Amino acid sequence: MSQNKITGKVFVVGDNVDTDQIIPAKHLVYNTHSPEERKLYGRYAMSGVPDEESGLPKGGVKFVNGDGFESEFKIIVGGKNFGCGSSREHAPLALQVAGVKAVIAQTYARIFYRNSVDGGFLMPLESVDNIYKSFSTGDQALIDLEKNTITNSTTGKSFTLRSLGDAADIINAGGIFSYARKIGMIQTVASANV
């Protein structure tokens, strides 16, 4: 995922978006190792979020349209306590499969943050202030990971993000195990067989 800038359409949610809203429990039956079944996690990502939470009137824009598997929204902007609820790893995985590159929230449930980083699924970025009301679903945004900012390209307003620090290296490596192999903490399969 190693990139310094992320651009795309924004999907806006509020505070306390839980893992059952991110990927409802009834969709946890798909095999994550089967390519055909794995993409269903993308289809049902964010399907438990009520329409009002997306900043649009009832019946507004869906995160994934119709029978698609990927969302047009590459960035999610939320409020406090994003990813609360159960500890399911399927939540950040579903967002990644749907094409999400980053989530911006003021705070995260610890387990969602850890699962996002450890699995290398997406960038869980924290905003200094609660900024979700400064965006509307469908706005274009630019995240600059070097400057630690997100700019609402539609309105021109910029906001400060907290640095990911060392977590960025883990995400960019593709997860905790890939990172550990990369820096020599654990052996690669090839070197283990020597």
SS3 (DSSP) at 151? strand
Whole-model pTM? Answer: 0.90
pLDDT value at residue 163: 95
**DSSP conformational letter for 69:** S
- Residue 79 pLDDT class (50, 70, 90 cuts): very high
pLDDT value at residue 126: 97
pLDDT value at residue 66: 85
Per DSSP bridges, beta strands 73-77 and 149-152 are unpaired
pLDDT cut 90: percent of the chain above it: 81
pLDDT digits (tens, 9 = 90+) for 120-155: 999 999 999 999 999 999 999 999 999 999 999 999
- Residue 186 pLDDT class (50, 70, 90 cuts): confident
- Residue 60 pLDDT class (50, 70, 90 cuts): low
Nearest to 23 by CA among 112, 130, 127: 112
- Residue 1 pLDDT class (50, 70, 90 cuts): very low
Q: Which phi and psi angles does 50 have, rounded to 5°?
A: -60, 145
Q: How far apart are CA 1 and CA 101, in angstroms?
A: 8
Half-sphere exposure of 13 (CA within 13 A, CB side): 26
Domains of the chain: 5-162 (3.20.19.10)
Averaged over 92-118, what is the pLDDT?
Answer: 97
